[in-house]
Chains A and B, each alone.
Chain A
Amino acid sequence: MVSGMRRLASFLVVMLMWTGLPGCGGGGDSPPSQTSSTPPGDHLAIINDPYFVDQWHLKNTGQKNPGGQGRGTPGEDVNVESVWNRGLLGQGVRIHVVDDGLEQGHEDLVANVLAGQGYNFLHVTNGCVAPACTPNSLGPKDPSPVSPNDNHGTAVAGVAAASANNVGGRGAAPGANLVGYNLLAENFRSQDSHDSTAMSHKAELAHINTNSWGHRDGGFIVDSGPEWKSAVERGVTIGRGGRGTIYLFAAGNGENPKPLPSDDSNSDGWANNRHVMAICAVDARGKKATYSERGANLWVCAPLNTGRSVDLPAITTTDRTGEQGYNHRMVDFDYVDRSYTLTFDGTSSATPLAAGVTALVLQANPNLGWRDVRMILAETARRNDPTDSDWRDIGVNLLGGKYHHNHKYGFGGVDANAAVQRATTWINVGPQKPPVIKERTLDLPILDNDPAGVTDTISVSGSGISSIEFIEITFTADHEYVGDLNVTLTHADTGIQSQLAAQHVCDDDFNRHISCGLYNNWVFGSVRHLGESADGTWTLHVSDTDPISEGTFQSWKLKFYGR
């Protein structure tokens, strides 16, 4: 009875806030918050941002790539227009953009930028010390790019939240607020302490923290720093007034078919962290972008272009004003107005697009916890490329149905309208149970160049976790070349498999084969068992399918997070 009344009260609060929100202004602490660039009520007006017609990722009408012949498929977009028409533009939501800078004065960003809230890592008061850092002349709270090569962040910011102001294009959340962090500025070599600052600075105010960066592509294993991990763990605890900051990371652009895929998002210690949503990319026809990395850790995909070719259109977004930026008119079909470009792409573009959609969800229901947001996006994502053979129905969602997951697409294409609608009726899930850990130490030789490999089993019973939210798989193998290894986790009770690693080669920027690193307590992440019970039989299969190098499967550990 008490539980039912509590649920009813939560629902009523949500409904009251949703109906009252379109009149709210922006977020932030003192000084007074920035107001939305679009007055409430004007959202039903015709969209006059002149480049919106090119922004197929927001509304795909089958636009043609101006530089080629390819056209997109109508409907393959984030389905956001009807959300805007209901007055939801992301007002009051604060997006932290961690990149190489953010041009705060750009005509299509300035109205949404929270002045005085950003962070300039290239200022001496913020610890900029030679030789790791070359100070610039801007203030400590101004992350505007100075170096001619720091163009990335301004483009990212525009995808998320360029204003709806009859100028340029618009972002997915054109009323959201932007705060920039120039962690990746050219003249700054960030260390773990700086990475953690970018995640935790003003976390209590940060709704969303979007990151279009990670380890360098090439297939090798690189872990995130321990202090970065502490920061995101703290951010989901204290962020957003205790509801948790939403962290998004690009899945990575390192998949390079050659004869073998070369990179997996699960080799990136930022993208496979349990507090992060890894964002993959689909093209204008709803198919996987060629370079978008696959992984058992992928959350959702968002649109961009297919592979830096001229076959399908890329993303229109803000570019550094004037002579700077990507738009040098090197391709004759880019905008004459060089403050904008239509050539942006990569999971770098997909990630802020998903961040903008997340902003709309949070505006619709500000009471959502960080775990609730993830589950809403997972539950409502579209099963794009529906005939792809890797789709699996998994677990049980909160409507009693199934999630679906694909190593290429995560839970599918992010759908703003479905997610916002679901957010308005969502009842927050309860707290997570204490994580359940099971581990095995063994010393099994991995047969060289033999797909039969070796398999070990862990049985789980009485875990108390009936709905998994994330699994960490800690793996140790002593092997001469870990790129030879295939590692697959299977929940025997459901048959669902997580391919954690597949045989590949690792290469550097000069196409030379290099070491892939070492599986020494390497932590893989899997979201492919979302909604499953942790109880049951779990197997880990390890095989070596390339000759010469040999090794031993030494240990593994499963850590289940859920409720």
Chain B
Amino acid sequence: MTIFIQALMSVFLLLGCATLNPAGASEETVGKDVERLTMSYVWYDGDQQEHRVWLNPTLVAEINPTSVGDDVLKSAFPDMRQVPSRYRGIRLWAFNQETQMEKVISRAQSSGSAQQYYQIMHDASSGSAPVRLALGNIIVHFNPEWSESAVQQWAAARKLQILRKLESGPNNYLIQSSPGLDALNLANSLHQSSGVVAAFPDWLIPRGR
């Protein structure tokens, strides 16, 4: 790697850059994993295999965005700026302060905004790693021996709402949950509990054609 690029990486490290600002981005490499995310969370897949995701504290995702965006939020958070997104139908917003991400999300929810914003999680500890979003709801695989009424009783006892039965397994269900870490935490709390074979968020994983 050239000395020039090494120097460029050093600059980014010194600045602690964790955003993707299109106005300032160099056409050269932005460096290998210079943005280190520190908040990681475990989740378990259908085979109970452990995985880890890292929460990005300075980015939120806007799903199916309007052409204009939310002027109310922009005025409330003036440093909120759009960053390039390679994901169809997903617009990314960046902030300078980590605390603003949660404020934006809760502000949009409480104001009844037509647009909602979601936490962004990455599959590695870099802010440029592939993303996945927990838009809400979890998937639960129950003991195949359980009847439908047993599943409904289980859900009722935990005040959980069954949204629909899935066709992808003998006893797989979609269950309502809040988005983001709420979904992940709920799934983990159910993981390997009595009658539950697997539980994980209903992930949105961006894809292409």
Contacts and interface: CB of A to CB of B under 8 A. Distances in A.
Interface of A: 99-100, 127, 130-134, 152, 184, 186-193, 196-197, 199-201, 203, 212-218, 220-231, 234, 270, 348, 480-481, 505, 508-518, 520-521, 546-549
A226 B116 contact: no
Interface in B90-115: 90, 114-115
Interface stretch (B73-81, B146-154, B197-205): B197-205
B114 A131 contact: yes
Interface of B: 1, 6, 20, 22, 25, 27, 29-33, 45-47, 49-52, 63-64, 84, 86-90, 114-116, 122-130, 135, 137, 139, 141, 163-164, 166-169, 172, 174, 198, 200, 202-209
Given A131-B116, A189-B90, A514-B129, A226 B33 contact: no
Contact of A227 (B20, B86, B114, B166): B166
A197 B167 contact: yes
Given A222-B130, A231-B169, A508-B128, 4 more contacts: A197-B166, A234-B167, A515-B126, A548-B32
Nearest to A511: B27
Contacts of B208: 213-217
Contact of A203 (B22, B115, B137, B167): B167
Nearest to B141: A230
B32 A230 contact: no
B5 to A, nearest CB: 9
A231 B167 contact: yes
A481 B35 CA distance: 12
B124 A517 contact: yes
11 contacts: A188-B89, A189-B90, A191-B204, A213-B208, A218-B86, A226-B45, A227-B172, A348-B209, A515-B130, A521-B49, A521-B50
Contacts of B169: 230-231, 234
Most A C-beta atoms less than 10 A away, residue of B31, B46, B164, B207: B207
Interface of A (DSSP majority class): loop
Contacts of B32: 480-481, 513, 515, 548-549
A99 B167 contact: no
Given A132-B204, A184-B209, A226-B198, A193 B137 contact: yes
A516 B29 CA distance: 13
A517 B52 CA distance: 11
A251 to B, nearest CB: 13
Contacts of A226: 45-47, 139, 198, 200
Contacts of B1: 546-548
Contacts of A201: 167
B167 to A, nearest CB: 4
B182 to A, nearest CB: 15
A216 B129 CA distance: 12
A131 B115 contact: yes
Contacts of B166: 193, 196-197, 200, 227, 231
Nearest to A183: B207
B30 A513 contact: yes
A196 B31 contact: no
Nearest to B64: A131
Given A131-B63, A515-B128, A546-B1, A196 B167 contact: yes
A216 B174 CA distance: 26
B105 to A, nearest CB: 13
Contacts of A481: 32-33
B85 to A, nearest CB: 9
A222 B124 CA distance: 11
A192 B209 contact: no
Contacts of B46: 226-227, 229-230
Nearest to A203: B167
B63 A510 contact: no
A83 to B, nearest CB: 29
Chain A to chain B: the 7 pairs with minimum beta-carbon distance, closest first: A231-B168, A514-B128, A515-B126, A513-B29, A518-B124, A515-B129, A226-B46
B29 A192 contact: no
A547 B6 CA distance: 11
B123 A193 contact: no
Nearest to B173: A193
A152 B115 contact: no
A514 B30 contact: yes
Nearest to B89: A189
A512 B141 contact: no
A512 B28 CA distance: 7
Most B C-beta atoms less than 10 A away, residue of A99, A222, A509, A515: A515
Contact of B84 (A134, A196, A510): A510
A508 B128 CA distance: 9
A548 B29 CA distance: 14
A244 B172 CA distance: 20
B50 A515 contact: no
A546 B88 CA distance: 32
Contacts of B127: 515
A186 B208 CA distance: 11
A228 B45 CA distance: 11
A513 B31 contact: yes
A216 B86 contact: yes
Contact of B52 (A190, A515, A520): A520
B41 to A, nearest CB: 13
B174 A193 contact: yes
Contacts of B209: 99-100, 152, 184, 212-213, 348
Contact of B88 (A133, A186, A197): A186
Most A C-beta atoms less than 10 A away, residue of B6, B84, B137, B203: B203
A214 B209 CA distance: 6
Given A187-B89, A197-B167, A520-B52, A225 B205 contact: yes
Contacts of B90: 189
Nearest to A267: B130
Nearest to A204: B167
Contacts of B64: 130-134, 187, 189
B123 A192 contact: no
A196 B168 contact: yes
Nearest to B127: A515
Contacts of A216: 86-87, 206-208
Contact of A192 (B6, B25, B124, B139): B139
A131 B65 CA distance: 9
B186 to A, nearest CB: 15
A189 B135 contact: yes
Nearest to B32: A481
A397 to B, nearest CB: 31
A221 B50 contact: no
Contacts of B203: 191-192, 225
Contacts of B172: 227, 230
A253 B30 CA distance: 24
B63 A189 contact: yes
